[in-house]
Each structure stands twice: as structure tokens, then as C-alpha cells.
Amino acid sequence: MAETSRAQIAEQIEFSAFSTADLDGISRLITAMSDDGANLHLRDKSPAYYRWMYFDNPTGQAFGCFARHGDRIVSSFAMAPKLVVVGGRTVRLGKTMDMFTDPDYQGMGLIRKCADRVFAEARDHGVDGWYVTPSVNSYPIFKNKWGYAEPFQPIFRARLIDPRAALAAVSPALVRRLGPQLVTRLSRWPRRRLNLPKGWTVSQPTRFGPETDQLWDAIAPTHQVALVRNASYLNWRYVDNPDDYSLWALHHQGELRGIVVTKQTIRRGLPVGDIVDLICARDDATTLRLLVRLAVDRCAAAGCAMVEAWSILGSLFDRRLRSAGLLIARAKMPLLLSPDYPDRLLYDAEAWWLTQGDGNDV
Ligand SMILES: CC(C)(COP(=O)(O)OP(=O)(O)OC[C@H]1O[C@@H](n2cnc3c(N)ncnc32)[C@H](O)[C@@H]1OP(=O)(O)O)[C@@H](O)C(=O)NCCC(=O)NCCS
């Protein structure tokens, strides 16, 4: 685009908060700009998903701003409000999402304008801080231009279920070098079936209810920084979501002790079991280990080649995921925090109970 026509276009662009009439446009922009295909599928991106995400959140409607050129949405930025326990207080934090500018309109300051509006609206609604899971494109903007903090290093902790398939997807050249004999031995990695210790039972709820609220009320004081995982939040996030999640509840002597949520995604063409949420007392290492092993067992039975969860490198939570069998540090995943949040606990790696469900990719 020539500079003069870009200047003219910039004047024609209108900014507005989104409405339900925009859901098709936002879905189109984000679907067109995403990498989804046969090799990558993490979550739904339909208009129904955006209706659910922007308008049905029990913590409140998402804050959002779109830039339009004519009848086309050319840039978007949104933030979901989340209830979070921070050091014994329940506060509203934001999770930024859907930061996209159509390639024809990039570098014109559209995201800057959309983001500024969203941040101002969030502050007006009592949201004093937010977290970001940036892409390679948005990382330098948040980190270098806008001064966001990066106090710790989240990673994917993984366990291979089918090493041959995973290796073939990650490094076909290495598979060729190893040769068929070695590779066939890899594929015969025996699967250890889960035998729960005496007194433990599993159920598969279809919805969360009063028992979940009782669990959350009992465990909330043990957490330092954690999304409020009560029934209302969990039903919105995993049951009313247009996408499909599997829910597993773990009981000890008949009493609910923990919940794990999984979802099957496609990464590098492989079926992957993502541990999306883990709910138990922060200091209950036994339940956490059983929840992870339960998720691995069920994902393996469903044909996943790998199981993975978010973790914060070097934290106690990370050590517990490793001892539950998620031994591989598969990839780093930046998480940035808006600068100057008044409670410094937010910047403490050990304080967070962070799971993939806290993000919006899966
Ligand atoms: C990242 C993206 C949203 C930026 O949108 P944009 O409308 O072109 O951005 P803007 O023109 O408003 O620029 C915003 C700021 O980032 C800076 N910036 C833009 N591109 C940059 C880059 N590649 N590296 C560093 N800074 C950059 C601008 O100078 C501007 O700085 P300022 O706020 O100090 O003035 C856009 O490139 C995009 O959609 N990328 C692909 C999708 C993606 O990765 N989205 C992020 C998902 S989390």
C-alpha cells in the first residue's frame, strides 16, 4: 500500500467496542490469520466460541475494541476478566486475547489504539492488572515497547505416550538416522496402566455443582495466586464452552479431593492430550500426582501420542509434575504481566497455580 493511500485509509478507520453483530467478522479475521489446519488445531474459533467468550463469562463481559474499514473488521484486541485469589483477597485480573491486525493494515498503529481503549475500559471496571501469553509477533511489543514484566518462565511439561509418532513429527531426519529396528523398539514402549491406591475412585462429571464449590471453598485459602475455580467458572470454561473437554473427578473415601480437565488437540499433526486444568489443594501432592496420572492414563487410552501441561520452570509445582511423570520440558511459553501491579505476589513464580485453562489457546 502506498504511504498516501495508507494515510487516507487511516482516516477512514473507525474504532468501536464489539457487539454480538461482530461475531462473524471477528471469527473470520482470526480464523484467516491463525495457523490452524491438519497439523495444528487447539480450539474452536467459530462465531459461537466468540459469543461464549465475550458475552457469557460469569465474571463479566469481555472488554474489546475493533477497528473497521468499511464493513470489514481489520484489527481486534480483547481482554477477559477473571476472578483471581491473590494472597487471600479475591480480585479481578484480565487475560488479554485476540490481538490481530489484518496484514494489509499492520504498522498503522491500530493495535495500539485498540489496546489503549481496552486497558482504559478494564481499569474503569476495577481491573488493575492483566496477563498476556504473547506470540512471537506480540512479545517484542509488550516486552520492549510497553514495558511488561516477565518474572518467570512457563514451559510445557510433557510425557511421551507414543515416542515413535512424536519423534517422527518432531524430527523425521532423526527417525531415518536411527533406522527401522531402533524405531520399532521405541514404539513398543510399554504403557503402565493406572491403578489407583485403595480408597480412591474416579467419576466423570458432566457438570460442576455444590460439591465443586465445597472443594473450592476448602482449598482456596491454600492458594496464593490462582483463578477462582468454583462451579460457576468451571461450568462456563469447560461445560458451556462450544468446544469439547473431558472432566474427571477424584474422590478419596467418597469425598471430592480433586478435578482434572483434559482436551485433545492436534500439534504437528499428532493427537495430543492437553491437561487444561488441575484443581486440588496447593499442598496436596498426593492428589496432584494422581490427577496427572489419571489424565495421562485417559489420554493414552484415547490414542494421544503425548500428554502435556503448563508449568513454571523450577517451581515446586514443576517438580511435582515431573514426579507425576511429565518429565520432558517440551517448549518455553512466555507469560507477561502488566507493569506496576500493586501486589508483588503476582510476580512470584512460587505463588502461581497456573494451568492451560488460565490461557485461551486451548
Ligand atoms: C502483532 C500485531 C497485532 C501488531 O498489530 P499492528 O496493528 O501492526 O501494531 P501497531 O501498528 O499498533 O503497533 C503497536 C506497537 O508495536 C510496535 N510494533 C509493531 N510491530 C512490531 C514488531 N514487529 N516489533 C517490535 N515492535 C513492533 C509499534 O511500533 C507500536 O509501538 P508503540 O505502541 O510504542 O507506538 C500484528 O502484527 C499481528 O496481527 N500479527 C500476527 C498475529 C499475532 O501474532 N498476534 C498476536 C497474538 S498474541
Closest CA to 87 of 347, 362, 359: 347
Q: What is the DSSP letter of 349?
A: G
- What pLDDT score was predicted for residue 171? 80
- What would be the CATH architecture of the domain defined by 3-128? 3-Layer(aba) Sandwich (3.40)
What is the reported pLDDT for 166? 80
Q: Is the pLDDT of residue 7 over 90?
A: no
Name which residue leads in pLDDT, 192 or 352.
352
- Report the pLDDT averaged over residues 326-345: 94
**Each residue's pLDDT tens digit, 89-127:** 999 999 999 999 999 999 999 999 999 999 999 999 999
pLDDT of 157 over the 80 cut: yes
Task: Tell me what pLDDT residue 245 has.
Answer: 98
Residue nearest to atom 10 of ligand 1 (CA): 109
Ligand 1 site, residue 188, Cβ cutoff 6 A: no
CA distance 36 to 26: 16
Average pLDDT, integer, range 242-264 = 98
Mean pLDDT of the chain: 93
Check pocket membership of 51 for ligand 1, CB cut-off 6 A. Answer: no
Query: Is any ligand 1 atom within 6 A of the Cβ of residue 102?
Result: no
- For residue 73, list its beta bridge partners: 68
Give the pLDDT of residue 362.
96
Measured in degrees and rounded to the nearest 5, phi and psi for residue 7 equal -65, -40
Ligand 1 near 112 CB (within 6 A): yes
User: Residue 322 C-alpha to ligand 1 middle, in angstroms?
Assistant: 36
DSSP secondary structure of 73-137: EEEEEEEEEEEEEETTEEEEEEEEEEEEE-GGGTTSSHHHHHHHHHHHHHHHTT---EEE---TT
CA distance 210 to 164: 44
pLDDT digits (tens, 9 = 90+) for 203-212: 999 999 999 9
Residue 313's pLDDT band, with cuts at 50, 70 and 90, is very high
Give the pLDDT of residue 332: 95
Looking at residue 190, what is its pLDDT? 66
- Nearest-atom number in ligand 1 for the CA of 108 is 11
Q: How far is the CA of 41 from the centre of ligand 1 (A)?
A: 24
User: What residue's CA is closest to ligand 1, atom 34?
Assistant: 145
pLDDT of amino acid 2: 66
pLDDT-above-90 percentage for the chain:
79
CA of 65 to the centre of ligand 1 (A): 15
Average pLDDT (42-65) is 95
User: Ligand 1 within 6 A of 108 CB?
Assistant: yes
Q: What is the largest CA-CA distance in the chain?
A: 74
The response to whether residue 75 sits with its C-beta less than 6 Å from ligand 1 reads yes
Q: Give the model's pLDDT for residue 174.
A: 84
Q: How many whole angstroms from 98 Cα to the centroid of ligand 1?
A: 13
Where are the CATH 3.40.630.30 domain residues in the chain?
3-128, 154-358
Look at residues 155, 201, 72 and name the one whose alpha carbon lies nearest to residue 335.
155
Is CATH 3.40.190.10 what the domain over 154-358 is classified as, yes or no? no
Ligand 1 centre distance from Cα of residue 261 (Å): 33
CA of 308 to the centre of ligand 1 (A): 30
